[in-house]
Amino acid sequence: MIYFATFFSHFGAMRYKILCQQQQIVCRTMPVPRGLSSSCGTCVRCEERWLPVQGSDAEDLEQVAAWDGKTFTVVYHT
Amino acid sequence: MNTKKERIHIIVAGLIIGVISALLVFFGNPANMGFCIACFLRDTAGALGLHKAAPVQYIRPEIIGLVLGSFVMALARREFAPKGGSAPLTRFVLGFFVMIGCLMFLGCPFRMILRLAGGDLNALVGLVGFVLGILVGVFFLKKGYSLKRTYAMPKLEGFLFPAIQVVVFVLLVVAPAFIYFSEAGAGPGAKHAAIAISLVAGLIVGALAQRTRLCMVGGIRDAVLFRESKLLLGFVAIFLSALISNLILNVATDATYFKLGFEGQAVAHTDWLWNGLGMLLVGFGCVLLGGCPLRQLVLSGEGNSDSAVTVLGLVVGAAFAHNFGLASSADGPTSAGKIAVLIGIAVVALIGCLNTFKKKA
């Protein structure tokens, strides 16, 4: 499974990517897929698992959606 | 998540938008100005009496159409989402100075492409400045620039900007005495396609831009940040289809739609330094805003009140530019305009620095 985390700001995506990398989650930043949002911002694509965050780290996190190869399923939303 | 399909969508949208842009000139818009968000907001500001430059006063239905086209598409696809609260006044100031940069160059990024497609090589200098400005903006993004998050807003907040467009459209059609329109032959404001044609063109482009997230700044930004060329393809498609349409119109009609060179271009000047610096300011400011002026209009239609505030900044910037002699003309830039662009670059850089902080974690 692939997870896409979207954010309210580019900075939020950068910060989340660093947090994921610290937890050895394979991830990268990329433009938000059109099927997920009309926003043209930055998302973080996580392979196999995503990182739940809390407090100030969660401030910029908008949603996390799982991609099964066909459809997106929202697994977290603010 | 079909990337190939997304690419095809944006290329097709770009091709359609390029053709529409060329046809708008055929139907009466100024040369190389089928669309120009900066020029059209400036004309609308003049029509509403916010500036008194008689040659550039007309309520442009294309702007109204862009917002309403995006609005309808967003509603239809259940993507209309009122939100805002991300540093609105900062966005207003950025919008203000982006307009100062646009009116130094005489066009927004959209018109820059259309000027290139019309053979205006001055736009090539503008493109270099534009790319440099985007690179500076991307530097700040990489360093942690942020205007902080947006928040969900009440429905009314999202409906207001499209509603304002309807009111402005009524003013255009009714044309009461307090609305100013450039007299025939007075300048670019007097040149326009029929209202219905302009409105429909705006509606189509607005809907397509909402659907594809087309953005003149986003294309280059994503290519630099993520090596992702999707948005850039739309940019290229608009250029190619407008270029081919112009060449066809050149042959099929008596008017000139394509003229290669620097000299004698329509609504343009040849001062390379200030063409470049004007667009550098535009590229830099737009990256910090998160999108070009076209994208700001489209987002306003989707219910984003931050983008609506940015558009208001653009409008006020246009009014200032013409009230205080900051806007360039075919004769070249003004001294006041040069000072304003330098101040603009300094202010945008300051905003960038003050909103960039070290990454935590």
Q: What is the ipTM of this complex?
A: 0.89
Residue among A15, A34, A60 minimizing CB distance to B359: A15
- Interchain pair A14, B144: CB under 8 A: yes
Residue B211: pLDDT band (50, 70, 90) is very high
Q: Is B46 on the interface with A (CB under 8 A)?
A: no
CA atoms within 13 A on the CB side of B134: 21
pLDDT value at position B5?
87
Residue B361 has pLDDT above 60, yes or no: no
Instruction: List the single residue in B with minimal CA-CA distance to A73.
Output: B1
pLDDT of B229-271, one tens digit each?
989 999 999 999 999 999 999 999 999 999 999 999 999 999 9
pLDDT of B9-52, one tens digit each?
999 999 999 999 999 999 999 999 999 999 999 999 999 999 99
- Interchain pair A72, B1: CB under 8 A: yes
Select from B130, B83, B91 the least CA-distant residue to B289. Answer: B91
pLDDT value at position B360?
46
**Other beta carbons within 10 Å of B10:** 26
pLDDT, greater one: B269 or A59 = B269
Which residues partner with A45 through β-bridges?
Answer: A4, A28
Chain A residues within an 8 Å CB radius of B230: 31
pLDDT value at position B152?
94
- Interchain pair A11, B228: CB under 8 A: no
- Interchain pair B1, A57: CB under 8 A: no
Residue A57: pLDDT band (50, 70, 90) is confident
pLDDT of B78-137, one tens digit each?
999 999 999 999 999 999 999 999 999 999 999 999 999 999 999 999 999 999 999 999
C-alpha B273/C-alpha B279 separation (Å) is 10
Q: Is B5 on the interface with A (CB under 8 A)?
A: no
Chain B residues within an 8 Å CB radius of A53: none
Interface probe with B: pick from A39, A57, A77, most Cβ of B within 10 Å: A39
Q: Cα-flanking dihedrals φ and ψ of residue A75, to 5°?
A: -110, -15
- Interchain pair A40, B210: CB under 8 A: no
The mean per-residue pLDDT over the stretch B50-68 comes to 97
- Interchain pair A38, B210: CB under 8 A: yes
Residue B154 has pLDDT above 80, yes or no: yes
Instruction: List the single residue in B with minimal CA-CA distance to A71.
Output: B1
- Interchain pair B1, A35: CB under 8 A: yes
| SS3 of B83-106 | EECCCHHHHHHHHHHHHHHHHHHC
Residue B358 has pLDDT above 80, yes or no: no
pLDDT value at position B1?
67
pLDDT value at position B359?
45
Chain B residues within an 8 Å CB radius of A7: 149
Chain A residues within an 8 Å CB radius of B2: 35
CA atoms within 13 A on the CB side of B358: 2
pLDDT value at position A54?
87
Residue A52 has pLDDT above 60, yes or no: yes
- Interchain pair B290, A41: CB under 8 A: yes
Is 0.90 topped by the overall pTM?
A: yes
Average pLDDT, rounded, for chain B: 96
Residue A13 has pLDDT above 80, yes or no: yes
pLDDT value at position A40?
85
- Interchain pair B79, A38: CB under 8 A: yes
